[in-house]
Amino acid sequence: MSDQASLPRLRVHVRPATPCDPIDLVAAHTCAPVNAWISEGDVVIGWGQAWRIEVAGADQCRRASGMWQAIAARARVSGEAGVAAPLCFGSFGFFPDTPGALIVPRTLYCLFDQRAWVIEQSVEGSDAACPPLPDERGAVEGPGSTRVRDGAHSRTDYLAILTDLIARLRAGEARKVVLARDVVVEAEAPVRPGWVAARLARAYPTCWTYAVDGLVGATPEMLAEVRDAHLYTRVLAGTAGADDAEALAASAKDRREHALAVDSVRRALTPLCEHLDIPEEPEILTLPNVTHLSSTVRAIARVTSLQAAGALHPTAAVCGTPTAEAAEIIAQIEEMDRGRYAGPVGWMDSRGNGQWGIALRCGIVSENGLSVRVLAGGGIMPDSEPEREFAETQAKMLPVLAALGCGENGQQTG
Q: Looking at the predicted structure, is the pLDDT value of residue 414 above 60? A: no
Report residue 410's pLDDT band, with 50, 70 and 90 as the boundaries.
very low
The verdict on residue 141 lying in a domain is no
Residues 94 and 207 in one domain: no
Q: Which of 123, 154, 188 is the last residue of a domain?
A: 123
Residues 349-377: what's their mean pLDDT? 97
Q: Looking at the predicted structure, is the pLDDT value of residue 3 above 70? A: no
Asked whether 307 and 68 are in contact (CB, 8 A), the reply is: no
348/234 Cα distance (integer angstroms): 18
Asked whether 111 and 98 are in contact (CB, 8 A), the reply is: no
The verdict on pTM exceeding 0.75 is yes
**Structural domain tally of the chain?**
2
Report residue 82's pLDDT band, with 50, 70 and 90 as the boundaries.
confident
Look at residue 177 in the predicted model and tell me its pLDDT.
97
Count CB-CB contacts under 10 A for residue 337: 15
203/386 Cα distance (integer angstroms): 29
Look at residue 413 in the predicted model and tell me its pLDDT.
41
Q: Which residues pair with 34 in a beta bridge?
A: 47
- Which range marks the domain in which residue 95 is found? 4-123
Q: Note the Cα 346 to chain centre separation in Å.
A: 6
CATH number of the domain that residue 249 is part of: 3.60.120.10
The DSSP element (H or E) to which 362 belongs, if any, is strand 362-365
Asked whether 196 and 361 are in contact (CB, 8 A), the reply is: no
The verdict on residue 294 lying in a domain is yes
Asked whether 407 and 401 are in contact (CB, 8 A), the reply is: yes
- Please name which of 390, 393, 398, 363 lies closest in space to residue 186, comparing C-alpha atoms: 363
Residues 265 and 395 in one domain: yes
Residues 50 and 104 in one domain: yes
Q: Looking at the predicted structure, is the pLDDT value of residue 349 above 60? A: yes
For the chain, percent of residues with pLDDT exceeding 70: 96
pLDDT in tens, 94-117: 999 999 999 999 999 999 999 999
Residues 87 and 184 in one domain: no
The verdict on residue 413 lying in a domain is no
- How far apart, in Å, are the Cα atoms of 101 and each of 5, 131, 347? 18, 21, 11
Report residue 4's pLDDT band, with 50, 70 and 90 as the boundaries.
low
pLDDT in tens, 222-255: 999 999 999 999 999 999 998 899 999 999 999 9
pLDDT in tens, 143-171: 999 999 999 999 999 999 999 999 999 99
Residues 176 and 310 in one domain: yes
The verdict on residue 130 lying in a domain is no
Q: Looking at the predicted structure, is the pLDDT value of residue 408 above 70? A: no
221 is catalytic: yes
Residue in 176, 225, 389, 396 annotated catalytic: 176
pLDDT in tens, 280-334: 999 999 998 889 999 999 999 999 999 999 999 999 999 999 999 999 999 999 9
Residues 234 and 324 in one domain: yes
Residues 207 and 87 in one domain: no
- The DSSP secondary-structure symbol of 239 reads E
385 is catalytic: no
Residue in 40, 80, 124, 221 annotated catalytic: 221
Contacts of 41 by beta carbon, 8 Å cutoff, 6+ apart: none
pLDDT in tens, 181-235: 999 999 999 999 999 999 999 999 999 999 999 999 999 999 999 999 999 999 9
Residues 339 and 304 in one domain: yes
Residues 76 and 180 in one domain: no
